[in-house]
Structure 1
């Protein structure tokens, strides 16, 4: 009898230790990978790279460095919340998967969800010399087949209305992956906006109910943002948030979801939302590996606490000044886009006001993509200059809110 009790005690203690074992989580997002087989050198590719500011070889080197870093870190799981490829090219999906296979051989489980650039994209292209040719894209079914080893093949449950699925992490943790895209509506181009289908939400609520009965925690992942990450994002950039964001955030928070990993907006930002009932959900958005500052996250889940750390790629072998170069590219692109939007408002503003407003937007974006926005001297000067032009001589720029809590790059969150 004593021997039996000893064995029982030993097994129980070992199970407790196993259950308490920390989980290492990595997150990369919005890689926008373009296969080398589709990127033939020539005028066509140069035109694309100039327009987007994305040099294909640079981005491949960035991804290679991150994969190498992750091999050294050996995370238990890697989350990828969408926009895996440039425009849904089948060859890009296949090559991207091949790039990540060394991680699986190292013991890392990989989980993906599609982004708006991954499925049924009608503008998928191949670049050859001075020409572009249509490239084969993928259907939703083909996406799930390609990534059978990255979540879909071993899912505990699959949603019948979308590519959403539930994955098993361990006996006390599940991963709920939402497909928030509108690829079934694509005709001549992609749609940036996203939504959670009513059928999918009902499917998810049943899972939350089951998890509550079994005392299981759930973390979520989706491409589109669930929570507003910057002032007026829902006004100026609604397509980067799911439709009915507040309603969905209320429902998911009250159902027990505390953490959701997102991408899409190409910014490294974390923002929390508290429901009317007092339940908090935190949207952990990870920036793009196709854009400055090339961030990825390493997270330790220990004792129901997520300890989040952000890493960035500042250089690659051919380009020691990678960060500086791509920061300038982003600055130029943002200024061009901001000027275009301001002009499209058809408001008779003097040229100096248009330029000052565009400069403010550029500085805000450069801060926002990095996260933990602090009012720099240059930003304060831009705001002060714009306020002066607008007749607000005594505007206090220090009161201007740039970032929502909590911290964005290094923070601990309760699960």
Structure 2
């Protein structure tokens, strides 16, 4: 028996050498009989910020206090939240609520596809480790993390901080790490808990949550020896550096393989001295396929081995492997200029095909803070299903659960929205003080109606509406289109501009006159983020599709740039408003087909 195992291990090592991929660890241990079904939860883009963190140098700062415990709070301002695509404070309570919910459902395996912290600060990484350790010990849960672009902001530790923490009276103040220029000049509150940790510190602190073998794991391996690979200057092959990679494969339960792919790509800026790195936010798999070719080869070997050994394989990473705009990319590119509306984050057809050609059939991703499913067909007669897991810290907040049938090799995927979260409004009275302070001192202020939110679902919706006004319209949309939308107040104005309003049937005309431009814009983002879970009625979804049909069959003019923009946006909304895979669907893991 020992000779058989040694021979098998030798063959496996030979295969890896052939692929030029070396795994640093391989373990095979006895385990319990294979289960029939296994559930895995996916919690993406938690962006955990520890609002209860203690700082050393805040004796002269009067911090706001928790209404119940009276404990000082290190919280970000509401104004900051309404300029960010993520919440900073409430997600602390949401994260605990979701973990309690998973414990109640007796789900033992939990994957975190990146951005599990807010910029990888020590205070936040340690808080995550503390929370996960508690649930692991109390409920026997296992957690498997893989970093996103907000976990290590750069591959190595850098000075950092934030300028928008909140004082008790409503004023903002900054906290920075000691090596930051503001602290070097003695211009800020200083604490090294606010530096941005790199890979070494983050992986060491979260070692028990996917980055090392557990005693009961049947298998554990990594694609790169010592979790490092060599990146060389394309213009000077003798100029190379060592870069980290956190990918791993684990078999926590007999028959189940979880493949965590580190899709972060931090491109070295060779012309800079000392060497600096581009952020990973806009890179994703478009950059990975060229930056980490050995990682792609490893994925292929894992897929082949899983099929040969009859293992149920599920992959997850931070970045999408497929398109996430309901096949509306062509129209969106014609409306939004280069770099806007997150279009650079969409995998190109070449990228998606390369990933599908690995043979992988199911992948869970985060990063985009939206709900979507993409189907990518390869030349291998298989299909890659990319499931976008929504963020816990943005609209429409939700998590995904996959129920794996190990015998039938199928996966039932379900979406669990987070509308009711206890304690979501615990900080509202503190935000009210912030509003009063800003109003008193004639500072730019936020729309306080968000503080009337009756549920977490409504709160994230109001947060999204605030982003539309404060960020998206200003940064992404063409200025001439924004001006036109501001001057024209109903959808009927769109078709009047395109000189075909008189062609609209009476029932459609009444709907055109009933929907304001502002309401349409809000619906646009609700559907973009929420997809099938968006708070849009079936009747309104049908209306947006009927508008597109009317446009296609009419003599509407599209001669001017504004007319072209309007026609394109009508097509986009028709695609956004169609249901894709729904909240619950099943995947054949052998072929990737929806069944």
- TM (normalized to structure 2)? 0.59
Spell out the pairing of 1:90-169 with structure 2 (5 A cutoff): 90-105=122-137, 106-121=139-154, 123-125=160-162, 127=165, 129=167, 130-134=172-176, 135-154=194-213, 155-159=220-224, 160-161=228-229, 162-169=245-252
Offset from partner CA, 1:25-77 (integer Å, 9 cap, x none): 11111011111217954896344234338664422221121111011122131
Match of 2:314 among 191, 214, 219: 219
- Greater shift, 88-97 or 169-178, is seen at 169-178
Unaligned runs of 5+ in 2: 1-29, 56-62, 65-73, 177-193, 214-219, 230-244, 269-275, 334-340, 426-453, 492-516, 557-561, 590-595
Unaligned runs of 5+ in 1: 1-14
- What secondary structure, in the 3-state scheme, does the structure 2 residue paired with 1:199 have? helix
Measured in 1, the distance between the counterparts of 2:572 and 2:153 equals 46
Match of 1:366 among 505, 523, 526: 526
Distance 1:380 1:349, change over 3 A: farther
Deviation at 1:128, TM superposition (A): 6.5
Measured in 2, the distance between the counterparts of 1:137 and 1:348 equals 37
- Greater shift, 134-143 or 279-288, is seen at 134-143
Spell out the pairing of 1:312-323 with structure 2 (5 A cutoff): 312-318=417-423, 319=425, 320-323=454-457
CA contact (8 A) 1:29 1:82 kept: yes
Distance 1:288 1:348, change over 3 A: closer
Offset from partner CA, 1:196-239 (integer Å, 9 cap, x none): 22222123223334334433332111111111121344845234
Match of 1:258 among 361, 385, 400: 361
Measured in 1, the distance between the counterparts of 2:321 and 2:44 equals 16
Deviation at 1:325, TM superposition (A): 2.6
Measured in 2, the distance between the counterparts of 1:408 and 1:297 equals 12
CA contact (8 A) 2:544 2:574 kept: no
| Aligned: 1:199 with 2:231 | no
Measured in 2, the distance between the counterparts of 1:348 and 1:53 equals 20
Match of 2:377 among 274, 293, 303: 274
Spell out the pairing of 1:313-392 with structure 2 (5 A cutoff): 313-318=418-423, 319=425, 320-341=454-475, 344=478, 350-352=484-486, 360-372=520-532, 376-378=538-540, 384=547, 390=563
Measured in 2, the distance between the counterparts of 1:262 and 1:334 equals 24
Distance 1:260 1:38, change over 3 A: farther
| Aligned: 1:21 with 2:36 | yes
Spell out the pairing of 1:52-71 with structure 2 (5 A cutoff): 52=84, 56-71=88-103
Measured in 2, the distance between the counterparts of 1:342 and 1:52 equals 14
Match of 1:310 among 415, 437, 444: 415
- What secondary structure, in the 3-state scheme, does the structure 2 residue paired with 1:228 have? coil
Give the equivalent residue in structure 2 for 1:237: 342
Distance 1:349 1:406, change over 3 A: closer
Measured in 1, the distance between the counterparts of 2:390 and 2:76 equals 27
Measured in 2, the distance between the counterparts of 1:103 and 1:210 equals 32
Deviation at 1:311, TM superposition (A): 1.4
CA contact (8 A) 1:78 1:110 kept: yes
CA RMSD, 1 decimal: 3.7
Distance 1:190 1:175, change over 3 A: closer
Deviation at 1:138, TM superposition (A): 1.3
Measured in 2, the distance between the counterparts of 1:410 and 1:222 equals 21
Deviation at 1:306, TM superposition (A): 1.2
- Greater shift, 354-363 or 129-138, is seen at 354-363
- The structure having more radius of gyration, on CA atoms, is 2
Distance 1:33 1:405, change over 3 A: same
Measured in 2, the distance between the counterparts of 1:365 and 1:212 equals 40
CA contact (8 A) 2:120 2:152 kept: yes
Give the equivalent residue in structure 2 for 1:84: 116
Distance 1:398 1:283, change over 3 A: closer
- What secondary structure, in the 3-state scheme, does the structure 1 residue paired with 2:421 have? coil
Distance 1:59 1:38, change over 3 A: farther
Measured in 2, the distance between the counterparts of 1:342 and 1:176 equals 35
- TM (normalized to structure 1)? 0.82
- What secondary structure, in the 3-state scheme, does the structure 2 residue paired with 1:350 have? helix
CA contact (8 A) 1:227 1:249 kept: yes
Distance 1:367 1:74, change over 3 A: same
